[in-house]
Amino acid sequence: MKSNREKIREFLGNASAPVKLSFLIMGSGHFRYGARGKGLIYLLIEISMIVYLIRRGISDIIGFFTLGTVHADAWAGVEGDNSVVMMLMGIFAWIVVFAFVFLYQQNVRSAYDLQKRVEQGLPVPTLKDDLASLLDRKFYMLVLALPVIGVCIFNVLPIIFMILIAFTNYGGTIVPPELVDWVGFDNFKKLVVLTKFAPTFGKILSWNLLWAVLSTTLNYFAGIGLALLLNKECVRGKAFWRAFPVLAYAIPGFITLLAFKFMFSYGGPINQMIISHGGTAIGFLDLDAKWSARIIGLLVNCWISVPSIMLLATGHLSNRDKSLYEAARIDGAGKFAQFWKLTMPFMIFATTPVLLGQFIGNFNNFGIFYFLRGGLYMDGYFLASDTDLLINWLYNLSIDNNYYCIGAAISLIIFLITSAISLVVYVKSPSYREEDTFQ
């Protein structure tokens, strides 16, 4: 292995003038060695980058640091800077710059490669050859381009934005047209120091962890159990039995949740039956109904998520290697041995990502208590209730009450917790370490 410095020295010694000119005018190396099409593309990239920088890129990047300097003044007719938009466009500009730097590197590197090829007398790949290699050797590049761009704009950009918001004073009375400023770690300090937030955070966090573990375990084993039950040889009319969970699966979650809310409400059928048998109505989801509301939430969540896990598990069960079972039978393995030694390891291998997804999904299950109980605010909690998960609190804080920067800081903390837990689980799971086990 050569060190980077040696590589650079070698490059400077060997590279021809057109290749070096590629540093200034992208694509010139390609022109020199006959790859016109590619050269033209690189040249166009450089020109459009310069146009972008002049037209808005540079001012966007400056805006990212200042977050606006001109106060809006309706009397003087000054429009003023919108700090939030400036920040967003600033991040966008950074992404464009990084993409350009990457392409710039590629340009020099591939020009140098071309030079070497020509010197060794190898044929120069035409644009057509390059496009053809996209269908074969570099198929992954072609395929991943679109998803990566989409994810960058609609997932990465907003998330970066919110991470940065956690370090500003955006929120409360400071929203555009007021100017937002960078404040460093002040929001996190507030969370630790102010008694306003700390106790609520602790209480909600512990319930949230309990909830995630309980509901994930319940859903996962119920779902896999159901799939195995339906997969049994003695069950006739599998399609018929499977139709019931599927029916539940087909009904959109919010309808289920609202329906269950009606079912357990004071005027709902369950309370009507209690009353007609001489009892008094019970407020299952009422203000003081801490545990009954929590248990109803768990069961309703089970009702909603079990069918999807069951369907997935059925798909995986059908994808098992049947020859393994035959071999096991020949070797004299009984049904239980087959189940524990073949089915379960395979299922755990195939569904670890699902299990983890379920855990994260349940940890951040917004809908369940939002619909079942609505946005209740309780004593002892700051803008939250005793069934609320962190995500509900986040919603209450940032969307209902404009605590944007505090909300962003809390979501960063949530993120740190969940990512730490699941990264450990995932990296240790067999489906990540030994991808080829069942291939």
Partner 1 sequence: MKNRITYKKSAGNLLDTGITYIILLVVAFIFFFPCLWLILASLSKSGSMYSFDGFFPQSYSLDTFKKLFQDTTMYNYPKWFLNTLFVATGSCILGTFLTILTAYTMSRFQFKARKPMMKATMVLGMFPSFMGMTAVYLLMTQFGLINHLWGLILIYAAGAPMGYLTQKGFFDTIPKAIDEAAKIDGATNFQIFTKINLPLAKPMIVYTALTSFTWPWSDFILPKLLLKEKNLYTVAVGLMSLDETEFARFAAGSVFIALPIVILYFCLVKNMVDSVSAGAVKG
Interacting residues with partner 1 between 122 and 181 (CB under 8 A)? 135-137, 139-140, 143-144, 146-147, 150-151, 153-159, 161-162, 165
Contacts 24+ apart (CB under 8 A), 410-417: 410/191, 410/201, 411/162, 411/166, 412/163, 412/166, 413/191, 414/364, 414/390, 417/205
Contact positions with partner 1 (CB under 8 A) in 372-431: 390-391, 394-395, 398-399, 404, 408, 411, 414-415, 418-419, 422-423, 426, 431
Applying CB under 8 A, among 258, 295, 327, 424 the residue interacting with partner 1 is 258
Residue 312 in the binding site for partner 1 (CB under 8 A): yes
Q: Which of 14, 69, 106, 319 binds partner 1 (CB under 8 A)?
A: 319
Q: Output the CA–CA distances (angstroms, integers) from residue 356 to 4, 9, 279, 427, 435, in the order listed.
A: 40, 48, 43, 11, 16
Give the one residue of 249, 290, 294, 348 binding partner 1; rule: CB under 8 A. 249
Binder among 259, 342, 348, 378 for partner 1 (CB under 8 A): 259
Instruction: Label residue 114 exposed, middle or buried (CB < 10 Å: 0-12, 13-18, 19+).
Output: buried
- Within residues 78-97, the interface with partner 1 by CB under 8 A covers 84-85, 88-89
DSSP reduced 3-state for 256: helix
CA angle 398, 147, 307 (to 5 degrees): 70
Among 98, 182, 185, 244, binds partner 1 (CB under 8 A): 244
When binding is defined by CB under 8 A, the residue of 183, 246, 298, 324 that contacts partner 1 is 246
Residue 140 · residue 371 · CB < 8 Å: no
Q: Which is nearer to partner 1, 26 or 409 (by Cβ)?
A: 409
Site for partner 1 in 22-81 (CB under 8 A): none
- Binding residue for partner 1 (CB under 8 A) from 18, 63, 68, 307? 307
- Tell which one of 187, 314, 362, 385 touches partner 1 (CB under 8 A): 314
Q: In whole angstroms, how close is the CB of 196 to partner 1 at the nearest point?
A: 21
Spatial contact of 176 and 79, defined as CB atoms under 8 Å apart: no
Q: Which of 358, 372, 397 is nearest to 204 (CA)?
A: 397
Q: Which of 221, 227, 240 is nearest to 302 (CA)?
A: 221
**DSSP letter assigned to residue 265:** S
182 forms beta bridges with 168
Binding mask 210-229 toward partner 1 (x if CB under 8 A, else -) reads ----------------x--x
Cis (ω within 30 of 0) for the bond into 177? yes
Phi/psi at 431 (5° precision): -70, -15
Minimal distance in Å, beta carbon 234 to partner 1?
Answer: 4
- In the complex with partner 1, the residue whose CB is nearer, 76 or 234, is 234
Contact predicate 376/385, CB 8 Å = yes
In our burial notation (b when 16+ CB lie closer than 10 A, e otherwise), range 298-311 reads bebbebbbbbbbbb
**Residue number, 240 or 291, with CB nearest to partner 1:** 240
Of 66 and 308, CB closest to partner 1 = 308
Our CB check for partner 1 shows the closer of 20 and 316 to be 316
Nearer to partner 1, 162 or 224 (CB): 162
The distance of closest approach from Cβ of residue 372 to partner 1 in the complex, given in angstroms and rounded to an integer, is 14
> Would you say 55 and 152 are in contact if contact means Cβ atoms under 8 Å apart?
no
Residue 328 C-beta: closest distance to partner 1, Å: 16
Amino acid at 133: S
Q: Which of 67, 111, 180, 350 contacts partner 1 by CB under 8 A?
A: 350
Give min distance, CB of 310 to partner 1, in A: 10
Nearer to partner 1, 19 or 409 (CB): 409
User: Is 351 an interacting residue with respect to partner 1 (CB under 8 A)?
Assistant: yes
Note the helical H segments in 77-156. 83-119, 127-135, 139-151
For partner 1, the closer of residues 233 and 379 by Cβ is 233
**Count of residues of this chain found to bind partner 1 when the rule CB under 8 A is applied:** 102
28 or 392: CB nearest partner 1? 392
In this chain, which of 16, 217, 308, 401 binds partner 1, going by CB under 8 A? 308
Instruction: Please tell me the distance from the alpha carbon of residue 124 to that of residue 115, in angstroms, as a whole number.
Output: 9
